[in-house]
A = this chain, B = another copy of it.
């Protein structure tokens, strides 16, 4: 999507240098920096240190990492060793392993001299597939918004989102934000309430940044506010992304999603989840019971990052003696979910995905 009127993806092949470039998401929104990645080892570091994050983007980064390995040394043993390093950076990232599982078998049977070109084409394909899935979610979702949410309302449409499921989490377009971009690009008068998303503030840092850079009106709110807004008819739809969607339709997503789903349900506000179908995991029978929730470092709660003069710093916001607990995600029961937006269609029940 656009940054100051110029089109960007989160990761791309530079035809001049034959290297890969990514947006360094660690320093957003205070700095916009593009980093050149020259080897598979560098790509592993880039993924591990979270220059890039988000399911779709991590998958594409791994694919381009394998391309960089083939560029350095097209022996299959070297490429496989690099793939192993890449897969160990974020062991729970499904798309990362999927990219490797697509590329390695094909590279293994290819002739040594064909591997570089093949790796480049496969990585480009994985990137494009991710972007195209998201683009499709955007088109389908826009249609839903137009027909089910905005119809008959001759006023601005207000959407609430939690965390960042925008183009920064994918190669382009995003999942939850894709329908919003599509609606905005088609001239709909749309406004987004952006949940700050403590403790890592992906809403305040990334969602606010990407919406604002594309020109979309948005307002940052504390995570506590959504219930009040919905009570008073100020939200027309809640849309979130998904980290995992279980067989029963339960959705694991950033911690706090469940509270917004409860508030939406209590106030008859449609609550929809947007995701590429690669996120659906039919093996998980019951999301609330079976999806393990990552516990992250309590320091993310105890300290806050922000900018004072020029440089970003980390600040303690609680007493010295206070400890924190930091669950990264929660699971929203399917009974609270109005619709699932995927590139394969929009479903009221997850049965459409089975």
Interface string of A162-199 (1 = CB under 8 A from B): 00000000000000000000000000000001101111
Given known A222-B301, A228-B327, contact A315–B322 (CB-CB < 8 A): no
Task: Say whether A141 faces chain B, with CB atoms less than 8 Å apart.
Answer: no
Complex contact A222–B256 (CB within 8 A): yes
Our pick among B226, B258, B301 for the contact of A221 (Cβ within 8 Å) is: B301
Complex contact A225–B325 (CB within 8 A): yes
Interface string of A300-323 (1 = CB under 8 A from B): 011111111000011111111111
Q: Which of A17-25, A114-122, A200-208 contacts B (4 or more CB under 8 A)?
A: A200-208
A82 to B322 Cα, complex, angstroms:
41
Given known A263-B259, A308-B314, A327-B228, contact A222–B223 (CB-CB < 8 A): yes
Q: Which residues of B contact A38 (CB under 8 A)?
A: none
This protein's copies in its complex: 2
Q: How far is the CB of A202 from chain B (nearest CB, A)?
A: 11
A306 to B299 Cα, complex, angstroms:
13
Complex contact A224–B212 (CB within 8 A): no
Our pick among B228, B263, B298, B316 for the contact of A306 (Cβ within 8 Å) is: B316
A288: nearest chain-B partner, CB-CB: B231
A318: nearest chain-B partner, CB-CB: B204
A256 to B229 Cα, complex, angstroms:
11
Complex contact A293–B228 (CB within 8 A): yes
Task: Say whether A35 faces chain B, with CB atoms less than 8 Å apart.
Answer: no
Task: Say whether A129 faces chain B, with CB atoms less than 8 Å apart.
Answer: no
A301 to B196 Cα, complex, angstroms:
8
A196 to B304 Cα, complex, angstroms:
12
A204 to B318 Cα, complex, angstroms:
5
A315: nearest chain-B partner, CB-CB: B306
Task: Say whether A270 faces chain B, with CB atoms less than 8 Å apart.
Answer: no
Interface string of A83-100 (1 = CB under 8 A from B): 000000000000000000
Complex contact A317–B304 (CB within 8 A): yes
Q: Which residues of B contact A224 (CB under 8 A)?
A: 197-198, 223, 254-256, 259, 330
A117-152 contacts to B (CB < 8 Å): none
| Chain A interface (Cβ < 8 Å from any Cβ of B) | 29, 193-194, 196-199, 201, 204-205, 208-209, 212, 218-229, 231, 254-256, 258-260, 262-263, 266, 288, 293, 298, 301-308, 313-327, 329-331
What are 21 sample pairs from A and B whose C-beta atoms fall under 8 A apart? A205-B319, A208-B319, A209-B319, A212-B321, A220-B318, A221-B324, A222-B223, A222-B256, A224-B255, A225-B326, A225-B327, A227-B258, A227-B259, A227-B330, A228-B258, A231-B288, A231-B330, A259-B263, A304-B317, A308-B313, A308-B315
